[in-house]
Amino acid sequence: MRIEFIKITSLFFLGIFLSGLQPLAAFGAKITDVRLWSAPDHTRIVIDLTDPIQYETFSQEKPPQFHLELKGVTLHTAKKEMEVKDPFITKISLIELGKDRVKLVLHQKKALDINAFTLKPYQDKSHRLVIDLIDVVQEKKEKEERLKQKEIKPKGTKIVVIDPGHGGEDPGAIGPKKTMEKDIVLKVGEKLVHLLNQNKEIQAFLTRRGDYFIPLEERIKIAREYGADLFMSLHADGSFNPQARGSSVYCLSLSGATDEAAKILADKENTSNILGGAFLRPAAFAKDPHLNQILLDLMQNNSMKESFRFAETLLGEMKTVNLLKYPSYRQANFIVLKAPDIPSVLVEMAFITNKEDESLLNRKDFQEKIAKTLSLSIKKYFAP
C-alpha cells in the first residue's frame, strides 16, 4: 500500500521586521529581508544582509529556544516579534541588546538539531545567514518510509521518482511575468505522480512535496532510498535570448558535454546548490561499502544506456505537445543525474523566459498535457 504524505509547504516574508531595522553607521550591516520555508523534516530561515557580520549562537532547553546574536546591526525599537505558522517553531523575536548588537530568538515547539552558516554573495543573492532547524526524528521517519517502499513493493512493480527542480531559496529561471520555475515544475510533478500512481504496476514519488530546497546530492539519495527504477528531474529552461523556445531532454555525460549549450545548461543547473544554500552531506553513494569501483562503473554504464533509451522515447512523445529545442537528447555533467544504478534524465519542458512558452507553462491544460505525455513515455519505457 502506498504511503500518503502530508504536504507541508509555507513561505513567509517577514517584512514586519524590516521597518524596525536600521544600520548603525554608514558601513554597518543592514538586514534587508528575513524569510522562512517549511519542509516535512526541517525549517529553514534565511536572513539577507548588506554586508558580512559576526554572530554567536547558543540553545536553550526549557523552553526550547535557539538564540543567535548578530553583531553590526541595530533595531530602532526595543523589541519586534512575529508569530509564524510552522511545524517546528511558533515565533521569531528580534531583540536589541545594546549598541551594535541584536539577538534573534527562535521559539521552538520541540528540541531540534540546528545548523547555522553564512553564504557569500552569488549572482543576485546578497550575503546570507542561513539557519536550518532539523527534526531528526521526522527526518529518520521520512527515510524509513522511503526504504519501506523498496521492501514492500509488489513483484514486477516499477518505482519512479520525479524530481521537481529548484525550490525554496532557489527559484530557478524566472519568466517575463515573474513566473518561477520552481512553482511550475512542482505543479507538473504533482500531476505526473498522480497519473503514474493510477497504474498498478508503477509507484511514483516526489523528491520534494513543497516549496523548499533539497541539495542535488540529497535528491539522488532520496531516489536510491526509494529503490527507484527511473529518475526524472523536471525543469523549465531559461535564456538571455527571449526568442528561445522549445522542450529538450538531457542525459549524463562523464567525459564532457555534447556541445557548449549543454555544458552551459549543466553549469547553470549545478549552481542550484549555491543559490539554494546547500548544507552538504555525504554523497548518496560515495561510501557504500558494497560498491567497488569496477561494479560502480558497470552499473553507471548500464544506467546511462537505459537513460539514452528512455530519452529517445521521451523525445518521440514530447514533440507532439511542444516544439523541440533539439531533435535528439543532449549530454552534460549534471550532478542530479549521477545515480550510478538508476536510469536518469533531465527534462526542460519549455522556456519560461519566452513569453509564449511562459504562457503555456502557466496554463493548467498544458501542464496536464505535459504530465500525460511524460506519463505515457514512462509507461512505454517499462513496457515489455
Find the CATH number of the domain harbouring 262: 3.40.630.40
Q: What is the pLDDT of residue 293?
A: 63
Same domain, 129 and 159: no
**Entry pTM:** 0.86
| pLDDT, one tens digit for every residue, the chain (384 residues) | 333 333 333 333 344 343 343 333 335 687 788 889 999 999 999 988 888 889 999 998 889 999 999 988 866 544 588 889 999 999 999 888 877 888 999 999 999 999 999 999 988 899 999 999 999 999 999 999 999 988 888 888 999 999 999 999 999 999 999 999 999 999 999 999 999 999 999 999 999 999 999 999 999 999 999 999 999 999 999 999 999 999 999 999 988 788 888 888 888 888 888 888 876 444 444 445 555 666 667 778 889 999 999 999 999 999 999 999 999 999 999 999 999 899 999 999 999 999 999 999 999 999 999 999 999 999 999 998
Our measurement of the distance from residue 352's CA atom to the centroid of its chain's CA atoms, rounded to an integer in Å, reads 18
Q: Which residues pair with 161 in a beta bridge?
A: 205, 231
Q: What is the pLDDT of residue 345?
A: 98
Same domain, 187 and 314: yes
Same domain, 249 and 345: yes
Omega within 30 of 0 (cis) for the link into 121: no
Number of domains making up the chain: 2
- Sort 95 into a burial class: Cβ within 10 Å, 0-12 / 13-18 / 19+: middle
Same domain, 62 and 100: yes
2 domain-assigned: no
Same domain, 324 and 212: yes
74 domain-assigned: yes
3 domain-assigned: no
5 domain-assigned: no
Same domain, 364 and 240: yes
Pairing of strands 101-108, 65-71: antiparallel
Same domain, 130 and 164: no
Query: Which residues lie below 8 Å from residue 341, measured CB to CB, with a gap of 6+?
Result: 224, 285, 299, 300, 303
Report how far apart, in Å, the C-alpha atoms of 59 and of each of 47, 110, 161, 258 are. Answer: 19, 12, 37, 50
Residue type, 281: R
146 domain-assigned: no
Same domain, 124 and 171: no
Q: What is the pLDDT of residue 268?
A: 81
Given 101, 134, 167, the domain boundary residue is 134
Given 100, 134, 168, the domain boundary residue is 134
Q: What's the CATH number where 20 sits?
A: 2.60.40.3500
Same domain, 128 and 209: no
Same domain, 55 and 169: no
- CA-based nearest residue to 108, from 79, 88, 123, 93: 88
The boundaries of the domain holding residue 43 are 10-134
Same domain, 102 and 198: no
1 domain-assigned: no
Cβ atoms of 22 and 104 closer than 8 Å:
no
Same domain, 239 and 354: yes
- Of all helices (H) and strands (E), which one includes residue 217? helix 216-226
Our measurement of the distance from residue 83's CA atom to the centroid of its chain's CA atoms, rounded to an integer in Å, reads 26
Q: What is the pLDDT of residue 294?
A: 64
296 domain-assigned: yes
230 domain-assigned: yes
* CA–CA separation, 26 and 24 (whole Å): 7
SS3 state of residue 47: strand
Q: What is the pLDDT of residue 177?
A: 97
